[in-house]
Amino acid sequence: MVPIILAKGLTKRFGDLIAVDGIDFTIHEREYFGFLGPNGAGKTSTIRMLYGHSPMTDGQLKVLGLDIRTTARRIKEQIGVVSQENNLDTDLSVLENLLVYARYFNMPKREARRRADELMAFMQLEAKEKSRVEQLSGGMKRRLVLARALINRPKILLLDEPTTGLDPQARHLIWQRLRSLKSGGTALVLTTHYMDEAAQLCDRVAVMDAGRIIATGSPQELVRERVGAEVLELRIAPALDAQVLRSIADLDIETERYGDTLYLYLPEGHTLAKTLTDRLIGINHSEMIHRQATLEDLFLRLTGRELVEH
């Protein structure tokens, strides 16, 4: 596996605030890699350092084997960026947005036109070729930003929260398109706080919190290792927690209380779900949900279920 992004001790400080606190990570060719974390965890700062928008404060960073501090132009020629805001050119039409962007990459006119047509078809925007940006729906704007980021056939596509605020149909269309880029060999680096997005797209994720990476691995492995295979959610009065814990004391089960719910994490291969439900049925509760453990559980276990505003 060839590494295309190598970060060691990567740090970003804004005055006294440490946004990214000396993180290490490696991203490989063709890999789909996600940075997960709550708002303020340092995801956007990290991705902005990758394309030189935000100069790194400290550490080492190699993108496509080059140093971003000295060869930003050559790196930027080979990457595509979908930033958090739709920074489309509202003075221009859909087609013009693509053509003008192609010109920033020095693409010859005829090639730019061909590529723009290709990308409008790929992103289902052909019918909107002449529309102005304000006339597009949220999903279309996002697709246009994505089409624009692909204009230079990038080796790495950086996406900062690609589907935040979109409706389910729009999100799925974008996910499909992003997955279909895999066959072309593009690597993908995204930030998200949607667990389903990470599960849909990422080969590996890094969970970030307060500027640090607190876990890295494939989503499935991470969930299995850190959460377990299944989760039992018990809506039960906190006063009854002790009774529940006593009744399952002989079983190897981790629990966590948050709000109105007691979470029970069942390790992999645990066949005791049935036993467990039998035992708990006698304790007065309003609801019991037995389900697969997800990335969401991992995320919330690692970063805490409490809402922390950074």
Binding residues for other proteins (CB under 8 A): 14, 51-55, 72-74, 76-77, 81, 83, 85, 87-92, 96, 100-101, 103-106, 148, 152
Instruction: Please report where in the chains the tokens 């946004």 appear, as a residue.
Output: 19
Contact 50, 2 (CB under 8 A): no
What would the two tokens of residue 269 be? 């291969």
Of 77 and 129, which has the nearer Cβ to other proteins? 77
Q: What angle do CA 194, 198, 201 make, to 5 degrees?
A: 135
Q: Which of 164, 95, 180, 166 is nearest to 133 (CA)?
A: 95
Tell me the closest approach of the beta carbon of residue 263 to other proteins, in angstroms.
40
- Three-state SS letters, 18-65: EEEEEEEEEEECCCEEEEECCCCCCHHHHHHHHCCCCCCCEEEEEECC
Nearest distance from C-beta of residue 56 to other proteins, angstroms: 12
Query: From the CB of 224, what's the least distance to other proteins, in Å?
Result: 37
Taking CA atoms, 29 is separated from 6, 53, 162, in Å, by 11, 22, 21
In angstroms, what is the minimal distance from the CB of 53 to other proteins? 6
CB of 153 vs other proteins, minimal distance in Å? 13
Q: Which two tokens stand for residue 234?
A: 């018990």
Q: Which is nearer to other proteins, 12 or 301 (CB)?
A: 12
Enumerate the H helices of 125-282 as residue ranges: 138-149, 168-180, 195-201, 219-226, 241-247, 273-280
162/134 Cα distance (integer angstroms): 19
The residue (of 53 and 113) whose beta carbon lies closer to other proteins is 53
Q: Are 107 and 152 in contact (CB under 8 A)?
A: yes
Residues in the chain: 310
From the CB of 156, what's the least distance to other proteins, in Å? 12
Whole-number minimum distance, CB 163 to other proteins, in Å? Answer: 18
Tell me which residue of 194, 196, 283 sits closest to 241, measured CA to CA: 283
The residue (of 74 and 291) whose beta carbon lies closer to other proteins is: 74
Q: What is the DSSP letter of 278?
A: H
Q: Rounded to 5, what percent of the chain is helix, strand, coil? A: 35, 30, 35
Give 152 or 163: the residue with its C-beta nearer to other proteins: 152
Minimum CB distance to other proteins smaller for 155 or for 204: 155
Taking the least distance from each CB to other proteins, the nearer of 82 and 206 is 82
The nearest distance, CB 145 to other proteins, in angstroms, is 9
Give the nearer residue to other proteins in terms of CB position, either 24 or 96: 96
